[in-house]
Amino acid sequence: MKKWSYIIACVTTIIGGTFIYLSKDFPQKAGNAPGPGLWPGLLGAVLIGLSLILVISTLTTKKTSMMENMVLLTVPIKRVYKLMGITIAFTVILYFFGFVIATLLFIPAVMYLLEVRSLKYMVTTSLLVTTFIYVVFVLILNIPLPKPIFFR
């Protein structure tokens, strides 16, 4: 397990460094607001910090606790795999059909995966969350949400 912790820390450090490198040319400040380069750079720094914490905790953890076998086909892990699939499907649907339709499908799918079976609750939650996000971003902040491919 220690070997995998070090590999994950290295990959995370590379990803964090890539975020910092790719955002270096963007302005950090735009007027009185954070610029487009601030958040990716900050995320990269956080990823590097977390990988450092992983390395330190791996070095200081006793070897016996790191040698536990991890079973990758348990019911909770399978649920994580399904959630990853739903999230990938969300991004594909988001690209082709836009934010509103993708979100109206994504929220009930995740709720069903989390064993919420009330259709009324799933539809109500999906409509309220999607409407809230739309109002905040489009109407209040004037930030456009992804549109369907046939409206671009």
pLDDT, position 69:
67
pLDDT, position 64:
59
- Owner of token pair 């070090």: 6
Beta strand residue intervals within the chain, DSSP E: 29-30, 33-34
Summarised one tens digit per residue, pLDDT across range 19-74 is: 999 998 888 887 777 788 888 999 999 999 999 999 999 899 876 555 566 677 88
- Check whether 119 has a pLDDT greater than 90: yes
- Owner of token pair 């955002």: 23
Q: Which two tokens stand for residue 141?
A: 């902040």
Q: Which two tokens stand for residue 145?
A: 């949400």
Q: Round to whole Å and give the CA distance between 123 and 108.
A: 7
Q: Round to whole Å and give the CA distance between 18 and 15.
A: 5
The pTM assigned to this predicted structure is: 0.65
pLDDT, position 74:
87
